[in-house]
Structure 1
């Protein structure tokens, strides 16, 4: 429920603070007084597009703040928690704020936290629904008619199921088409891949093979040098005139004097360790050199293999080390192409199952729509008759059409305004007044099942008058028992049924024009309703009629 609205520097509004109550709130005033500005401000804070022209002349920005009581709105409380935007201190309150700068930039806040315009609009649509005076124009659309029927019947679980099933069916169908398109070029691609694969199969490159062969080639090509260097190093380390023999002589000299010096004994141990390590190293060098073989045949094999790898890599613009991975890719692609027929059969089976699920979901939705249509027919027909169309009859035609994400139904709203005439589509009705009343009947019927706590009717009673206008007021007041309702109206009969009444008026103060919105007392309401029903000259008789009208309405 909207409990508070603050507007600053918006068009003709300088500063405005309004507190609202449950029930039916009416807003009245002369044409051009600024009622639309009030709704524009509310639209801003609900996430509508910002226009810098709305900023009051001479001001840097306009600001709108709206506070909502979410005591009876658990879904909206859950939404705030889900998006981490709840008020930690007052979980049952929600404050929306929007500012628009003179340069067109705008900022949005939910409970004091910056947010995106998309989130502000998503939450706003859950808090308030606006029914405009031109709503009947949208009612001409069969899409709008279908949405109204589904909203009235609370079909969202079924419509979501149909949309999901349709999306799955479409995706699978597209995959099959893409596969079939690919199969048209598959033969040429298969021949090219097979030719490449045959070339690679002859060579059969292995992972890491090139680096290993390159290392082996270096060793084989310089085997003689390696063997000679190793044996000569062995001689230097452990031959007759080697380092080992010199260390042995040094040890012999130390052994003669070691008994005279403990410190010399430590050096003797180090020399002995050095001699052992030197002899071990010499042995390793000997064994390594001994196993080196001069193998020109193996060298020729390695050179040939490396040449094959180099040539294959050059032909396909690859690094030699990447040949094995490319060979694996070729094999996988060939295997994938070979599975095209098998994959096509699998997709066709999946598409068949998806289509069956889509049909089942669509048929369930069709059945629900037909059942809801019967209830909606009775509800709107009764509303039409109470709105002065004594023989009015409303009918929802549910006809079959091709499957889509919305099901397999074409929804058409038909009405009969006079006995003996066939029911016709809404766009065939010539009378604007009749169309306005039918539109209002539909809106009120659908509003009764709306999940939003606050509804705004913006001059939807245009073209209505007399006793019918009184019925409109009664219906809105009744609706106010279930929802918070706002009605912008020019009809005194409707305004008299408000639980709360605000007057919108312009004031000229010097060089400025300011729009003011003030709550009316009982006596002020009598004067305002008298103005609405009596025009310029308000007589005692008009005031008495207004007082009588107000008293009657308030006792309803």
Structure 2
């Protein structure tokens, strides 16, 4: 609820403080007194787009402060919590307009962007009038209004969930079809490459192992001859035979040498032992170097094949095995592609059926509640002297989406047999005001915590019709707070709180002010609205008669 409005240096207002109350708050005054300036100032602090030049002549800046009382469950706090605010039962909006056009806004002393300010204000205040293009006249919001009227949240949630599932199923199928098409384009390559890689079956590290074997075999060929020659030189026809002969000849002469050959014989024995060890090592080496020449050819062929395949695919030899696994998986995906697409098509069919069922139920509910809204509007229009007018909630087919498959539009025909059309184009100014009021009465239901502003919505009506307008405004005010700018004494008389907007002249300027009216003052104001500038006793009596007991 709007608790207070503090305006400083805005247009022709120098300083004005207003304390509003629950219920129906009426503002009256002569034409040109400044009633619209109050709404301009309120719209400014709420972040609505309006006049460009708002600062009072001679002032450096204009400022508006609006204070609201809110419960913790109020929708404004859903917006504010996302912006990092914590709950406070008082919400203070403050906005400054500098002479150079700069605008700065605060919420509870914290500076905020215009976007946050407007998002919050949409949950606080609704403005309705003959130029209402923010709410009821905006056809893009008619579906939301109908859904709220019918309490269709659960069915709408079901449709949104089904839509998300349907979109996901379509995306998954589309991506799978693209993958299959891509694989089909390279099917020949995949089959040939996989067959070639499977035929070779390279393993990790095999390239290095084969290269080592090849180098070893090539080295064996080069050193094998020399090692064989060394083996012969160490054998019986070489060193071993010569050492044996020497030891035999020295042994035969040792007895006659008086012991002088014992040292040489011992050295030769040691030499024979070392020679035997050398011969054993050479034989071991020869055995190790022994290979089948055909084996070297096989090793070289496989090594060249692995390296050639790696060059062909522009990868390292050790990457061939995982590369083959990847190609094999792509080929398997291609082979099972038809089956996968069939499964995804089946899932899409299920998702589509679920969405169709959910939207069908939602459309049926919307049509049912549209009929109820039309009936409720008919009962509201009659007391407003529009019993011949026809209000129809049209539901037509729309492109499928998360909100269903329906377009909702409020249409009217002002006379039987006349063509129906959009409410904002068919109705005249006075008719439009009454249509909007009736629609708001029907749509508001048990809504609370919202401040509704009606700007001269009773224009062009009087007598019993004006009284009917006032009673509906009072009905709306019973569920929250209503501010109405009015020229109708019947509407003013039904207000719970009454303010008169006045224009006063000073030596240097014309200023607007607002005065709260008590009982006698209120009677005089309503009498003025009835009779004009000259207030008669008859007008006062008529004013008293209008006021509820």
* Change in 2 beyond 3 A, CA 1:142/1:109: closer
- Structure 2 counterparts to residues 247-396 of structure 1, below 5 A: 308=305, 310-318=307-315, 322-396=319-393
**Paired residue secondary structure (2:346):** helix
Name the residue aligned to 1:258: none
- Conserved? CA contact 2:92–2:107, under 8 Å: yes
Name the residue aligned to 1:545: 539
Name the residue aligned to 1:38: 38
* Change in 2 beyond 3 A, CA 1:81/1:58: same
- Conserved? CA contact 2:40–2:50, under 8 Å: no
* Change in 2 beyond 3 A, CA 1:532/1:347: farther
Q: Which region of structure 1 is more displaced relative to structure 2, 344-353 or 137-146?
A: 137-146
TM superposition shift of 1:475: 1.4
Larger radius of gyration: 2
Per-residue CA deviation, residues 373-393 of structure 1 (Å, 9 max, x unaligned), is: 343233211211111124445
State the distance in 1 between where 2:499 and 2:37 align. Answer: 14
Q: Does 1:555 align with 2:548?
A: yes
State the distance in 2 between where 1:398 and 1:180 align. Answer: 36
**Paired residue secondary structure (1:388):** coil
State the distance in 2 between where 1:186 and 1:526 align. Answer: 87
TM superposition shift of 1:123: 3.1
Q: Does 1:92 align with 2:92?
A: no
State the distance in 1 between where 2:23 and 2:99 align. Answer: 36
- Conserved? CA contact 1:131–1:456, under 8 Å: yes
- Conserved? CA contact 2:202–2:306, under 8 Å: yes
- Conserved? CA contact 1:7–1:65, under 8 Å: yes
Provide TM-score, normalisation by structure 1.
Answer: 0.71
* Change in 2 beyond 3 A, CA 1:377/1:86: same
5+ long unaligned stretches in structure 2: 222-280
Name the residue aligned to 1:434: 431
**Paired residue secondary structure (1:460):** coil
Q: Does 1:70 align with 2:65?
A: no
**Paired residue secondary structure (1:443):** helix
- Conserved? CA contact 1:67–1:94, under 8 Å: yes
TM superposition shift of 1:365: 2.0
State the distance in 2 between where 1:489 and 1:495 align. Answer: 7
TM superposition shift of 1:22: 0.4
**Paired residue secondary structure (2:342):** helix
- Conserved? CA contact 2:10–2:63, under 8 Å: yes
TM superposition shift of 1:431: 4.7
- Conserved? CA contact 1:24–1:486, under 8 Å: yes
- Structure 2 counterparts to residues 19-58 of structure 1, below 5 A: 19-48=19-48, 53-55=53-55
- Conserved? CA contact 2:10–2:41, under 8 Å: yes
TM superposition shift of 1:341: 1.9
- Conserved? CA contact 1:426–1:435, under 8 Å: no
Provide TM-score, normalisation by structure 2.
Answer: 0.72
Per-residue CA deviation, residues 438-490 of structure 1 (Å, 9 max, x unaligned), is: 23211222133445422112222233233211221121122211111111223
TM superposition shift of 1:3: 1.0
1:446 to 443, 448, 454: 443
**Paired residue secondary structure (2:382):** helix
* Change in 2 beyond 3 A, CA 1:64/1:138: closer
State the distance in 1 between where 2:428 and 2:61 align. Answer: 44
Q: Which region of structure 1 is more displaced relative to structure 2, 96-105 or 472-481?
A: 96-105
TM superposition shift of 1:134: 2.3
State the distance in 2 between where 1:57 and 1:20 align. Answer: 27
1:163 to 157, 160, 164: 160
- Conserved? CA contact 1:129–1:452, under 8 Å: no
Q: Does 1:130 align with 2:132?
A: no
* Change in 2 beyond 3 A, CA 1:486/1:140: closer
How many residues are treated as equivalent by the alignment? 486
TM superposition shift of 1:143: 4.3
State the distance in 1 between where 2:430 and 2:60 align. Answer: 43
* Change in 2 beyond 3 A, CA 1:64/1:183: farther
**Paired residue secondary structure (1:493):** helix
Q: Which region of structure 1 is more displaced relative to structure 2, 379-388 or 350-359?
A: 350-359
Q: Which region of structure 1 is more displaced relative to structure 2, 496-505 or 340-349?
A: 496-505
